[in-house]
Amino acid sequence: MDNDIYINAQNDNVNSYSAALDEIRMGRKRSCWIWYVFPILKEEELMADFYSRYFAFEIVDDAKAYAADSILLERLVTITDALLAHDKPISELMASDIDVKKLHACMTLFGNICPDKKCFELVLEKFYDGKPRSSTVKLINEL
């Protein structure tokens, strides 16, 4: 998968990465950007719409390529750190149950492929009782 689709989406004038970061820093996701800011593997339960399918990684190597891009990884770490700055429940921060699940999948994925970046594991500990998303772990092991 080409990382340009994520860079282009994040640099968009409407639902940009900077708008997403501002929303998280203010304490609540309000617009639609989760697909390209917190990307995930294709999990059937989480692929309810076109954008979910379009931005989801087909294979783990796609996620590794995303993590190898210094801009994308820095942005992911920065917005993940912004989540950690809050004491609100994750359901309040993310605003919908499906986005709570997608964030869980993203943190599980990047916690697995970027073990040196502790923020992903810290989100799992703080908001998900320290538990990775089991369906994501299964996919990581299968792909």
Q: How many CB atoms lie within 10 A of CB 25?
A: 12
Domain locations in the chain as residue ranges: 4-142
Is 32 strand, coil or helix? Answer: coil
Is residue 142 pLDDT above 90, yes or no? no
Q: How many CB atoms lie within 10 A of CB 133?
A: 25
Per residue in 23-71, pLDDT (tens digit) is 999 999 999 999 999 999 998 888 888 999 999 999 999 999 999 999 9
Which top CATH class is 4-142? mainly alpha
Is 6 strand, coil or helix? Answer: helix
Structure token pair of residue 75: 């942005």
The model's pTM: 0.94
Per residue in 110-138, pLDDT (tens digit) is 999 999 999 999 999 999 999 999 999 99
